[in-house]
Structure 1
Amino acid sequence: MSVVQAQSAPIRAEEDYLTTKQVAEMTGLSVSFFEVGRSLASPGHPPYLKVGSRVLYSRSDIVEWLDKRRRGQK
């Protein structure tokens, strides 16, 4: 029997992932908005990644999350 190891790209937080503070700055929302949303497991809260004690958000997930909240015509 052989063991198959998954090949995955390393997490590069400085390029692909954002901290809660960076997401707050990007969206214009408060840091506490994201902290409370995570702690309450609010539906509609953007997905996040927990690495040790760090909380990271994928930049592409945040862009998609914002796009879903777009209102009106372009």
Structure 2
Amino acid sequence: LYGPTNFSPIINHVARFAAHSLQQGTAAQYFILLIITDGEMTDLDHTRQAIFNASELPMSIIIVGVGEADF
């Protein structure tokens, strides 16, 4: 596989689900985003901002690097 490795779009996507769940007021849902990657992150600043924005939402983000890339 090749191409840019951008994490922020999927983090923002799951964060929207978590934010919607939080607005429901029931706190009945918790989201776990597992990202398995074989490439270096190409959008570090956007990913940091996405993680910061999601930090108070009912979600966890786990990033696992596999292979020979410099993670």
Q: TM-score range by the shorter chain?
A: under 0.3
Instruction: Return the structure number with greater strand share.
Output: 2
| TM-score, L = length of structure 2 | 0.25
Query: Which structure would you say has the larger RCO, counting Cα contacts within 8 Å and 6 or more residues apart?
Result: 2
TM-score when normalising by structure 1 = 0.24
